[in-house]
């Protein structure tokens, strides 16, 4: 699975959009981009995933560049409860589909 | 859908003792994973089951670790002769094939070896 690179930390004001970047320049054509987040002392929580097209669900939007070498997770109106570590993972479906976590981005939403 | 349950939530044990953790996945999920997470790090893959078959094990899973999933339902992770380096959060996750909705993780079992 492709390696991903994320900034170690970011800050965001409550109510504003949080844009979390991820680089995955070696991603293969069959690898999806998955995002998870982990709030302190809890297990990771699935947010969203995509292959080529931009995706949106009730939690977030995922923007993937046309060359698929990077993506951005957007939380449109960040709340204090969005403070967490966010993980970007490249994963090929099929096989074991085990997630390979990096250190992620610690997002702090400030009042 | 009651989510993925893990028991116990916390476990303190003396070095050298054996410990066993239990994971109850979401009932219709045929895939079950175990991960270990130490402070400041992302979760690390330990092992994967599809139904009752253990199909993949990480090199992190030493001979002291064993996992089972009898009948393809709940799973247990046993650590024999615990060492202080085993102190970590042990996470269980389950999913359906293709990971269409991603995994669902449990809240984990925090192990402290003293």
Alpha-carbon radius of gyration of chain A: 13
Quick one: how far is CA A56 from the chain centroid?
Answer: 13
Tell me how far CA of residue B66 lies from CA of A81, B34, B62, B78, in angstroms.
36, 11, 8, 5
List of chain B residues whose C-beta atoms are within 8 Å of the C-beta of residue A44? 43, 91, 93, 103, 105
Q: pLDDT-derived band of residue A95, with 50, 70 and 90 as boundaries?
A: confident
Q: Is the pLDDT reported for residue A73 higher than 60?
A: yes
- Whether B61 and chain A come into contact, CB under 8 Å, resolves to no
B45-53 contacts at long range (C-beta below 8 A, 24 or more positions apart)? B45/A98, B45/A99, B45/A100, B46/B77, B48/A96, B48/A98, B49/B75, B50/B97
- Closest-CA distance of chain A to residue B10, Å: 11
Burial string for A15-40 (b: 16+ CB within 10 Å, else e) reads eeebebebbbeebeeebbbbbbbbee
Tell me how far CA of residue B100 lies from CA of A32, B69, B90, in angstroms.
11, 22, 24
Least reliable range by pLDDT among A26-30, A58-62, B6-10: A26-30
List, as ranges, residues 21-80 from A with C-beta within 8 Å of B. Answer: 34, 36, 41-47, 49
pLDDT tens digits, one per residue of A4-28 = 999 999 999 999 999 999 999 999 8
Retrieve residue A93's tokens: 């479906």
pLDDT tens digits, one per residue of B40-50 = 899 999 999 99
DSSP A1-48: ----B--SEEEEETTS-EEEEEE-TT--TTEEEEEEEE-TTS--EEEE
pLDDT value of position B60: 83
Q: Which chain A residue shows the shortest CA-CA distance from B41?
A: A103
Q: Is the pLDDT reported for residue B94 higher than 70?
A: yes
- Closest-CA distance of chain B to residue A14, Å: 25
Q: Is the pLDDT reported for residue B100 higher than 70?
A: no
pLDDT value of position B1: 53
Helix (H, G, I), strand (E, B) or coil at B97: helix
| CA B40 – CA A46 distance, rounded (Å) | 19
Q: Is the pLDDT reported for residue B72 higher than 90?
A: no
């Amino acid at each position: 699975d492709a390696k991903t690179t994320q900034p170690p930390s970011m800050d965001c004001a409550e109510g504003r959009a949080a844009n979390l970047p991820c680089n995955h320049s070696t991603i293969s054509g069959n690898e999806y981009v998955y995002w998870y987040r982990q709030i302190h002392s809890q297990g990771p929580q699935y947010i969203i995933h995509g292959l080529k097209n931009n995706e949106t669900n009730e939690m977030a939007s995922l923007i993937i560049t046309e060359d698929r070498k990077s993506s951005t997770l957007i939380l449109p109106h960040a709340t204090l409860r969005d403070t967490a570590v966010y993980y970007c993972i490249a994963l090929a479906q099929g096989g074991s589909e085990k997630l390979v976590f990096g250190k992620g981005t610690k997002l702090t939403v400030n009042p | 859908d009651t989510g993925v349950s893990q028991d116990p939530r916390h476990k303190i044990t003396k070095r050298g003792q054996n410990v066993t953790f239990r994971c109850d996945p979401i009932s219709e999920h045929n895939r079950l994973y175990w991960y270990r997470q130490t402070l400041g790090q992302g979760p690390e893959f330990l092992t994967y089951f599809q139904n009752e078959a253990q199909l993949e094990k990480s090199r992190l899973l030493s001979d002291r670790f064993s996992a089972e999933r009898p009948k393809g339902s709940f799973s247990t992770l046993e650590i024999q002769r615990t060492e202080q380096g085993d102190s970590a959060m042990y996470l269980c996750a389950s999913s359906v094939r293709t990971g269409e909705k991603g995994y669902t993780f449990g809240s984990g079992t925090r192990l402290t070896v003293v």
